[in-house]
Amino acid sequence: MSDHDAQLLRTHLKQLRLPTMLAEFEKLAREAATSQQTYEQYLLRLSDLEVAARASNALVARIKAAAFPVHKDFDTFDFTAVPSLNKPKILELARGEWLDQHYNVCLLGSVGTGKTHVATALGLAACRQGRKVRFFTAGNLVTRLEEAQKVYQLDRFLAQLDKTDLLICDELGYLSFSRGGAELLFQVFAERYERASLLITTNLAFSDWGQVFQGERMTAALLDRLTHRCHIFELSGESYRFRESMKTKKGKKTE
Ligand code: ADP
Ligand code: MG
């Protein structure tokens, strides 16, 4: 290929937004020549790279948009430390069918039992399946809703949330909200009912949700919708961090 043609090809690939093909076409062409590939085989290998790079970039973008606070996945989660958690069931959820069925997930348990870790791992699994995920702490979500309302952008923010396949609301119950804040959160939860999935982690028993959603009626209405089609898990036991630090301390003492 003449330099002129190669330059023209580069311009075309740029214009067509095929950056991986642009970066790889020469190297692959040399390989194709030495291994006597057909034109079709060469084109297939080249386009394969572009498709793979796009899929990988899209995944990175989905994970970024999800705004997970930490990147905790199942590979670092020790299920033996939480025997109360049904591992096969959780791994089944990681396959994502519950999201197609618009089911919810509730992870209940005291602090440090791995709720955020499991919620994030389920969120990452959903991202890998090409789904849109958003992670918020309950406190953060209420603040965002209140701020959006103040500047008349609530509908816009709600529409953004509506586009997600999975909304993760972490740490419900750590903070209580103003009446207005609780109502906004209720609105978000209620609107998703049977339309899109919600994953909630909380340190509160359902019987104590009245503390967060002030008012018996709102709490009852919310729990009714939330738990209707919901996988509920209890993570019981002591804080994982606490246990790990005790292990290290004990280890040090016997040294
Ligand atoms: P919670 O959200 O229930 O308060 P986290 O998920 O934040 O707890 O867990 C606290 C810390 O302990 C995190 O760093 C988390 O990765 C780790 N952790 C908790 N449970 C486990 C577990 N079973 N296996 C591995 N790490 C765990
Ligand atoms: Mg947490």
106-135 per-position pLDDT tens digit: 999 999 999 999 999 999 999 999 999 999
Q: Lowest-confidence range among 36-50, 137-151, 240-254?
A: 240-254
Is residue 52's pLDDT more than 90?
yes
What end-to-end distance do the CA atoms of the chain give, in Å? 69
pTM: 0.88
Distance between CA 228 and CA 188 in Å, rounded? 16
Is residue 255's pLDDT more than 60?
no
Name the residue with the closest Cα to ligand 1, atom 6.
114
Is residue 15's pLDDT more than 60?
yes
As for ligand 1, residues whose beta carbon falls within 6 Å of it are: 72, 76-78, 81-82, 109, 111-117, 240-241
Task: Look up residue 49 and give its two tokens.
Answer: 């790279």
Maximum C-alpha span of the chain: 78
What is the mean pLDDT of the segment spanning 87-113?
96
